[in-house]
Amino acid sequence: MKIFTSTNEYSAMPKDIREHLEEALQGERGLFDVLLGGDAYLLEQVEELDQIVVDFENGGTAVDTVAPMDNAELLGDFAVFFMATNDAGGNVYFTPRWMVDNCIILQSIIRATEGEHQRCRDVNGQ
């Protein structure tokens, strides 16, 4: 697993991840802990999926829990998973696309998140 702690590490990130973070942070620079409420993680092995907290209250992770997250979507060669776990935000996790393609739980988390976002748009008339 690679851990990125600040925007100073943009040059070490894959393009899809860097662009996603730059857009999300709207050009702000600094420590991710301050800007996002946590660090940015690039998972490299399936065994690291237990780092992605899906159900904060019950301790469920991407190994054993399917639930909507604040953000879970595909980004080119990667997927992003984010759940706000504190007032400032939380850690953001990126997984390679091959991991999503081979893990039904990750696919289901993305679908659950998309479904919840659509439900919220429908309720709010958007």
Give tens-digit pLDDT for 80-125.
Answer: 999 988 888 999 999 999 999 999 999 999 999 988 768 877 777 7
Q: Residue 87 in contact with residue 37, Cβ under 8 Å?
A: yes
Domain ranges in the chain are 2-123
pLDDT, average across residues 11-34: 95
Structure-derived torsion over alpha carbons of residues 27, 97, 3, 50, reported in degrees to the nearest 10: 130
Give strand pairing partners of 37.
Answer: none
Whole-model pTM: value is: 0.91
Q: Is the pLDDT of residue 45 over 80?
A: yes
